[in-house]
Amino acid sequence: MKKQTSPLKNLRTIDQVADLVKERTDNRRSTLAIFDLDGTLFDNRTRTMFILREISEKFDSRLPQLSAAFNSFRDLSVVDYSLDVTLRRLKVRAPAEVHFIKQEWAKRFFSDEYQKYDMPLPGAKACVERIHKAGATVIYLTGRDVGRMLVGTTEVLRLYGFPVGVAGTMTIVKKEFEQDDEIFKREVSEYIDRLGEVVAVFENEPANSNILQARFPGAASFFVETQHRPGAPRLNPGIARIKDFRPAGRRTGR
Ligand SMILES: [Mg+2]
């Protein structure tokens, strides 16, 4: 006879999620955990700064304002969700320069080659690994696209030691780059719903967080406070806010 299993309600911490997954696994039950990548498991600001630095070196004489910006560049807090805002903060204002930088940035940012310059959030790898080891299928659900970014996505997950390509993992990306992120995640969540019991969702976009919480009301929903699209909706109640993936006791200076 199967043991009684716990209900999903009121999971508020990653510890509780891992314990529940373990219990379900011991009872031969399938569980799923959904992780967004950009702004959730990974901080993309380093990718942007690396690209801007590369562009400023490569096109030096054409980009005097960007080159000058690196004389005073101090830390990543200058990097906003919007490249326009970042460039304004860096005092790059000449329209022709801004236009050229945006073109060159987009070519690189949305490509396989530059994803290795992302930085995992503190504790991200340990958290994913723990939930995976407990027996959940880890689903990387990202608005990156198959044509330009799947290879780099897999590469960077492997580089940092995240479980990828092995049993109990799944990477779901967009077929077309142009597809709207929210519509993509809404449609895919219908498919995921058929696969098994979703126990946890991790997102950094309030709109996606709300969509996934509505689709999986029993799952623990975590909102990672990094950066997100401007003008985002309010986060629905019942979604737990986290700054990163470290156990609360190991966060210092916060
Ligand atoms: Mg994201």
Q: Residue 93 is which amino acid?
A: R
Is residue 7 within 8 A of residue 29, CB to CB? The reply is: no
Under DSSP, is residue 60 helix (H, G, I), strand (E, B) or coil? helix
Report the separation in Å between the CA atom of 242 and the middle of ligand 1, taken as the mean of its atom positions: 14
Report the separation in Å between the CA atom of 148 and the middle of ligand 1, taken as the mean of its atom positions: 17
Report the separation in Å between the CA atom of 37 and the middle of ligand 1, taken as the mean of its atom positions: 6
Report the separation in Å between the CA atom of 39 and the middle of ligand 1, taken as the mean of its atom positions: 5
Report the separation in Å between the CA atom of 48 and the middle of ligand 1, taken as the mean of its atom positions: 15
Report the separation in Å between the CA atom of 63 and the middle of ligand 1, taken as the mean of its atom positions: 30
Report the separation in Å between the CA atom of 209 and the middle of ligand 1, taken as the mean of its atom positions: 10
As a whole number of angstroms, the distance between CA 27 and CA 44 comes to: 38
Pairing of β 220-224 and β 197-203: parallel
As a whole number of angstroms, the distance between CA 33 and CA 22 comes to: 13
Report the separation in Å between the CA atom of 181 and the middle of ligand 1, taken as the mean of its atom positions: 9
* Residue whose C-alpha is closest to residue 203's, from 237, 184, 179, 228: 228
Report the separation in Å between the CA atom of 6 and the middle of ligand 1, taken as the mean of its atom positions: 30
Q: How far is CA 128 from CA 69, 151, 181, 248, in A?
A: 37, 20, 23, 16
Vertex 57 angle, CA 52 and 58, to 5°: 100
Report the separation in Å between the CA atom of 22 and the middle of ligand 1, taken as the mean of its atom positions: 27
Report the separation in Å between the CA atom of 40 and the middle of ligand 1, taken as the mean of its atom positions: 6
pLDDT at 2: 43
Low-confidence ranges of the chain (pLDDT < 50): 1-4, 253-254
Is residue 220 within 8 A of residue 16, CB to CB? The reply is: yes
Report the separation in Å between the CA atom of 229 and the middle of ligand 1, taken as the mean of its atom positions: 9
Report pTM: 0.93
Report the separation in Å between the CA atom of 51 and the middle of ligand 1, taken as the mean of its atom positions: 19
Report the separation in Å between the CA atom of 119 and the middle of ligand 1, taken as the mean of its atom positions: 14
Report the separation in Å between the CA atom of 4 and the middle of ligand 1, taken as the mean of its atom positions: 36
Is residue 192 within 8 A of residue 31, CB to CB? The reply is: no
Report the separation in Å between the CA atom of 205 and the middle of ligand 1, taken as the mean of its atom positions: 6
Report the separation in Å between the CA atom of 251 and the middle of ligand 1, taken as the mean of its atom positions: 22
pLDDT at 6: 52
pLDDT at 97: 97
* Residue whose C-alpha is closest to residue 17's, from 117, 135, 116, 184: 135
Report the separation in Å between the CA atom of 38 and the middle of ligand 1, taken as the mean of its atom positions: 4
Region of 24 (left: φ > 0; alpha: ψ -120 to 50; beta: rest) is alpha
